[in-house]
Structure 1
Amino acid sequence: MEIVGNGFIARNLAGVGERHPHATVLAAGVSSTSVLAESAFAREAALVEEVTRRCRADGRLVVFLSTASHALYGTGDTAMAEDVELLPTSPYGRQKLRLEHIVAASGAPWLVLRVSHATGRWQRPHQLLPALVEQVRSGSVRVYQGAHRDLIDAADLTRAVDGLLAGDVANEVVNVASGRPLPIQAVIHGIEKRLGLSARHEIVDGPRSITRVSVEKLCALLPEMRSVTDAGYLDRMLDRYVPYY
């Protein structure tokens, strides 16, 4: 497997890097929903176009890591499947949908994975879990009222990529998420419990923010991935990664 990118997801995918020599995984580009700069979006689009052209010429499968966040799916209590009509309202969401279309129209075999908030080893300090661990350790945490996140272990994302490629899944869009968006407060309380600390919570007003995505297609293709929907999934992730950070 060729991996384009050097971020924490790329480093996790390196664990199966010797498998699937027919595939190129695009694990690079804009990764934050807060990015607004057209120059960053243009660089990302140029990279996607260059990689898909090369994959078409070489007959390689291109795997594009898109987003299953609110930026693409919006907010609400309906579990969003991959085939719903999308009208993203943020620049980041519009960019990811545009890139999905470029990949699908490239002429190369393709696979689009819409990934929720991945968590795991080698994350940067500003990313969600390491940032929350550091805030709890500092004694003060800023919490946006009503904020929810669907967390997926980067190890499970790697497992999904490995399984889908082994099953020769192509020309499909697949959500890779837990399907269980959780209040940020639940994540913070879990971190406090594991650190034996109690931080001061600064509550910031904001609208209820929750995005539900369906993982039925993922679990139909890879039944073993049903484990990510377990009620104890967050606890397992926090047990694994809070000590790491």
Structure 2
Amino acid sequence: MEIVGKGFIARNLASVGERHPHATVLAAGVSSTSTSSAEEFDREAALVERTTRRCRAEGRLVVFLSSASHALYGNGDTPMTEDTEPRPASPYGIQKLRLESIVAGSGTPWLILRVSHATGRWQRPHQLLPAFVRQVRSGDVQLYQGAHRDLVDVSDLVRVIDGLLERGIEDEVVNVASGTPRPVEALVHGIERRLGLFARHEIVDVPLTRTPVSVEKLCKLLPALRAVTEPDYLDRMLDRYVPYY
């Protein structure tokens, strides 16, 4: 496959890079949900438009990595399915919806994956897990009370891309998540236990952000991925990646 991008997801995709020569994976662009720069967003949109035009001319399938976070879906009490009307809660979410529209209307075969918070090797220091590990080691952690995050192992994201392309799935939107948003306190406590450290917690009161995401479609398409819904999924990720960071 052709991999557009040099970030941590792109680096992890290199393990299956020799497969699916008909596909181009867009693993580049704005990665921080707090971004609101119109210039950055326009540059990202231009990249998506150039790539989809080229893929249409070459008869390639485009895999676009969108978001299954609160930024796109907003808050909710019931699991958000791929048919749920997105309720973007930030400029980042509005941008992802804009890019999905560009991809789906490009005239080339496409696959849109709405990914929650991918976690794993080669993440940048500002991203969730490495940032919390660094804070715990420093002795001070800032916690947004009411914030929840649904973490998915980047190795499972790679399995999803590989598996869906192997099955010939196209022109579909698929959520990629664990289906269980966890309070950020649970993530920090898990890091502390593994490091044997207990940091001071600065609690910042923020509005509730909790976005349950349905992964039923994913599990029907790739039954082996039901492992992401198991109760110990977060613990397995922390066992794997806290020592790495």
Q: TM-score range by the shorter chain?
A: over 0.9
Aligned to 1:199: 199
**Corresponding pairs, count:** 245
SS for the counterpart of 1:42 is helix
- Once residues 5 and 34 of structure 1 are traced to their aligned partners in structure 2, the CA distance between those partners, rounded to angstroms, is 20
Matches of residues 63-78 of structure 1 in structure 2 within 5 Å?
Answer: 63-78=63-78
Cα separation, 1, equivalents of 2:89 and 2:188: 29
Q: How far off its partner does 1:84 sit?
A: 1.3
Partner of 1:124: 124
Deviation, 1:59, is 0.5
Question: For the residues of structure 1 that align with 2:137 and 2:239, how far apart are their CA atoms?
Answer: 16
Could you tell me which residue of structure 2 aligns to residue 162 of structure 1?
162
Q: Give the corresponding residue for 2:244.
A: 244
Report the CA distance between 1:87 and its aligned residue: 3.2
CA distance in 2 between partners of 1:88 and 1:237 (Å): 28
- Per-residue CA deviations over 1:98-150 (Å, capped at 9, x if unaligned) read 11011011010000000000000000111100000010001111101111100
- What is the deviation of 1:207? 1.4
Cα gap change, 1:40 to 1:19, in 2 (>3 Å): same
- 1:89 Cα offset (Å): 3.6
Distance 1:149 1:191 in 2: 15
Q: Work out whether 1:96 is the aligned partner of 2:107.
A: no
* C-alpha separation in 2, matches of 1:61 and 1:135: 41
Q: Find out whether 1:186 has 2:186 as its counterpart.
A: yes
8 Å CA contact 2:73, 2:89 repeated in 1: no
For structure 2, the residue ranges without an aligned partner over 5 or more in a row are: none
Indicate the larger mover: 69-78 or 228-237.
69-78
Within 2, Cα distance between the matches of 1:90 and 1:182?
Answer: 20
Q: Which amino acid aligns with 1:202?
A: E
Q: CA deviation at 1:77?
A: 1.7
User: Is structure 2 residue 215 aligned with structure 1 residue 215?
Assistant: yes
Deviation at 1:176, TM superposition (A): 0.4
Instruction: Point out the more displaced range, 80-89 or 167-176.
Output: 80-89
Please tell me the root mean square deviation across aligned C-alpha atoms, in Å: 0.7
SS state of the match for residue 145, structure 1?
strand
In structure 1, the partner of 2:83 is: 83
Percentage of identical aligned residues: 75
Compared CA separation, residues 200 and 215, structure 1 to 2 (3 A)? same
Relative distance call for 1:131 and 1:154 in structure 2 (3 A) is same
Shift of 1:6: 0.2
Q: Secondary structure at the match of 2:78?
A: strand
Report the more deviating stretch, 202-211 or 148-157: 202-211
Q: Say which is worse superposed, 68-77 or 112-121, in terms of deviation.
A: 68-77
Q: Distance in 1 between matches of 2:209 and 2:100?
A: 24
Runs ≥4 residues deviating over 3 A: none
- For residues 51-66 of structure 1, the aligned pairs below 5 Å read 51-66=51-66
Letter in 2 for 1:226: R
Measure how far apart 1:90 and its partner are: 1.6
Equivalents in 1 of 2:150, 2:20: separation in Å?
28
Q: Corresponding residue for 1:2?
A: 2
Bigger mean CA offset, 19-28 vs 198-207: 198-207
- Per the alignment, in what secondary structure is the counterpart of residue 112 of structure 2? strand
Higher mean Cα deviation, 79-88 or 113-122?
79-88
